[in-house]
A and B are shown apart, each in its own frame.
Chain A
Amino acid sequence: MAAVTGSFTANGVAHAPSRTVRVTVLSLIGLIFALPIAAMIEFTLRAGLVGGYNVDRWVALFQSGFTGVYRPVLVALGNSVALAIGTVIIVMLLLVPTMLLVHIRFPYLRRVLEFICILPITIPAIVLVVGLAPIYTVVARMLGSGVWTLAFAYGITVLPFAYRAIQSNLDGVDVRTLTEAARTLGAGWGSVLVRVLVPNLRRGILAGAFIAVAVVLGEFTIASLLNRVNLQTALVVVSKVDPYTAVILSLLALAFASMLLLIIGRLGAPRNQTLRRRTTVKGPA
């Protein structure tokens, strides 16, 4: 952000609102948006019918170690984590090599790939389920009705998010030159992929993987309508029995997802660029 410091520009943006306006708007809307979250916390701290507040429910949940009524939640969490891992593997094995190959050798296919990857956004999950139901009866017959089979469906739903994360990284790296350099030095395609491209794209790949994890952990529609148990469907079941626990678990899940996305934000470009610049300066010495 160079020296554009006219009266109406700040950080390269013209006619930005004054500080007071910004603080007022942001804090007002922030307050309104914090209200439901605060209400959730308040709700979990309520001490029964007598009124007052304590942390009994939080303590009880962790001391009992998810036994009894909460056991299904733990199982569901395991399912969701397994699904997240499965989905990430599918995305990494299918999407990354495809995108790289299209980028390097078949640039004219880029529009097609982009269209295909963005397509799942336009097809709502609830519609996808209608089409998935008959397919999953076949899948269940062939592979059993294990929860992990859902990873195939999730691989499709996370496609747009993962694609965008990886593509934005791909645009910033000169893949063609890197590949040609590696090939000239006698590297095979496999080692180009593993030792040159993946390390250079690790930021995009990591962001794509994180976002896939967040989407899978938050997924409800497909699992619920195909009668599979994952974290979200279990939360609904628990909320019918013990709303307090369901809210506590939701808070934890929301906090976890915020953390994941904050990490993605931190992986952002600026810091990495300064790092790269520094290493190139250091290079010849």
Chain B
Amino acid sequence: MYVVLFLAVPTLIAIGTGFFDTTGAFTLATVAALGDPVVLTTFFNSFWLSALTAVVGAVVGALVCYAMLGTRPDGALRSTIDSLSGVLAQFGGVMLAFAFVATIGIQGMVTLYLRDMFGLDIFENGVWLYSTTGLILPYIYFQVPLMIITFMPALQALKPQWAEANATLGGTTASYWLRIAFPVLAPSFLGSLLLLFANAFSSYATAAALVSQGSQIVPLQIRAALTSETLLGRENLAGALALGMIVVMAVVMIGYSALQSRAARWQQ
């Protein structure tokens, strides 16, 4: 009974908060709102932003992981990179937005440097930092660290025996990577990719601090729907958008856990 009580309280809060509005206010009208062209555009924006930053983040992150192979797992380098990655991946948010304003904002360090040194104006066609395009760089900035955190254990779990077997059978380094490491790592890599996608898809703080007008991606659309005072009954829209996000996240996470169980086969 004691356990049930302690289990039930967090469960009820989690389930209740996650689904309260969507099931409580479940009418066809709210779901129909998802078909609205504006809403569809924001979902589309969220999709390509998340997909692009996930792919770039995954590739760069995997490269860093590869570079860290062979360093001592408990060494100073590894633990420093680990904790810095943790900070950037989970703590950044608002502050990353500031960092990028200081870097490539209108008065940013890199902007000014490029202008003064090469006469290059990165904002020739208008300031893009505060639109969806501007979100790409900050998002990659927190995607790469997350990739490092999630992918490193998989890379570390490659067994030296496989390399020995490969060498005994006359294989080369290239054949080791192509025939053994890549197939073994593929599920982990795809799983991490999905996790990165979900991360970008659900991220709000950076976008909210950077983009103060308009709502080009779904989380910002939810903000607009929640804080809007002009239209009555917009809370339903927020609920519908949240439902849409949950559906996307559920699909992504089911894919993730399927890939994860495949990946676990090689990590014993």
A: residues with CB less than 8 A from B are 1, 4, 6, 8-17, 21-22, 25-26, 29, 33, 35-40, 42-43, 94-95, 97-98, 101-102, 105-106, 109, 112-113, 116, 119-135, 152-153, 155-156, 159, 161, 214-215, 217-221, 224-225, 232, 235-236, 239, 243, 246-247, 250, 253-254, 257-258, 261-262, 264-266, 268-270
Q: Assuming the A-B contacts A13-B156, A247-B102, are A8 and B167 also in contact, with contact meaning beta carbons closer than 8 angstroms in the complex?
A: yes
Q: Interface SS of chain A: helix, strand, loop or mixed?
A: helix
Interchain Cβ contacts under 8 Å between A and B, 10 examples: A16-B70, A21-B67, A25-B67, A40-B98, A109-B7, A123-B14, A126-B223, A130-B239, A214-B86, A264-B83
A-B contacts besides A21-B67, A159-B10, 19 pairs, CB < 8 Å: A4-B160, A13-B69, A14-B176, A36-B99, A39-B108, A39-B110, A98-B6, A112-B7, A120-B14, A124-B202, A124-B219, A127-B246, A131-B16, A131-B19, A133-B21, A156-B10, A156-B14, A261-B87, A270-B74
Any A CB within 8 A of the CB of B80: yes
What residues of chain A lie closer than 8 Å to B129, measured between beta carbons?
A: none
Residue from A109, A221, A265 in contact with B205 in the complex, judged by beta carbons closer than 8 Å: A221
Q: Assuming the A-B contacts A97-B6, A156-B14, are A14 and B98 also in contact, with contact meaning beta carbons closer than 8 angstroms in the complex?
A: no
B163→A22 contact, CB < 8 A: no
Q: Assuming the A-B contacts A14-B162, A124-B249, are A250 and B63 also in contact, with contact meaning beta carbons closer than 8 angstroms in the complex?
A: no
A26→B68 contact, CB < 8 A: yes
Question: Which of B33-41, B88-96, B118-126 binds A?
Answer: B88-96
Any A CB within 8 A of the CB of B48: no
Any A CB within 8 A of the CB of B26: no
B202→A218 contact, CB < 8 A: no
CB of B53 to closest CB in A, whole Å: 15
A152→B103 contact, CB < 8 A: no
Q: Assuming the A-B contacts A36-B103, A221-B205, are A11 and B14 also in contact, with contact meaning beta carbons closer than 8 angstroms in the complex?
A: no
CB of B15 to closest CB in A, whole Å: 8
What residues of chain A lie closer than 8 Å to B96, measured between beta carbons?
A: 36
What's the Cα separation between A140 and B56 when bound, in Å?
Answer: 43
A126→B245 contact, CB < 8 A: yes
B208→A220 contact, CB < 8 A: yes
What's the Cα separation between A131 and B101 when bound, in Å?
Answer: 32
What's the Cα separation between A4 and B226 when bound, in Å?
Answer: 59
A235→B95 contact, CB < 8 A: yes
B198→A116 contact, CB < 8 A: no
What's the Cα separation between A215 and B198 when bound, in Å?
Answer: 18
CB of B10 to closest CB in A, whole Å: 6
* Shortest beta-carbon contacts, A-B, top 4: A16-B70, A124-B202, A14-B163, A261-B83
A13→B67 contact, CB < 8 A: no
B7→A113 contact, CB < 8 A: yes
**B208-222 vs A: 1/0 string, CB under 8 Å?**
110000000001001
What's the Cα separation between A105 and B16 when bound, in Å?
Answer: 28
- Residue of A39, A105, A127, A269 with most partner-chain B CB within 10 A: A127
B10→A102 contact, CB < 8 A: no
Question: Residue of A at shortest CB range from B11?
Answer: A116
CB of B23 to closest CB in A, whole Å: 10
What's the Cα separation between A235 and B209 when bound, in Å?
Answer: 10
**B60-74 vs A: 1/0 string, CB under 8 Å?**
100110111111111
A225→B226 contact, CB < 8 A: yes
Residue from B64, B181, B209 in contact with A25 in the complex, judged by beta carbons closer than 8 Å: B64
A246→B98 contact, CB < 8 A: yes
Any A CB within 8 A of the CB of B242: yes
What residues of chain B lie closer than 8 Å to A159, measured between beta carbons?
A: 10, 14
Any A CB within 8 A of the CB of B173: yes
B68→A257 contact, CB < 8 A: no
B98→A215 contact, CB < 8 A: no
A15→B100 contact, CB < 8 A: no
Any A CB within 8 A of the CB of B130: no
B17→A132 contact, CB < 8 A: yes
CB of B198 to closest CB in A, whole Å: 7
Question: Residue of B at shortest CB range from A16?
Answer: B70
User: Which of chain B's residues 159-205 have a Cβ closer than 8 Å to chain A?
Assistant: 159-160, 162-164, 167, 173, 176-177, 181, 198, 201-205
**B127-145 vs A: 1/0 string, CB under 8 Å?**
0000000000000010010
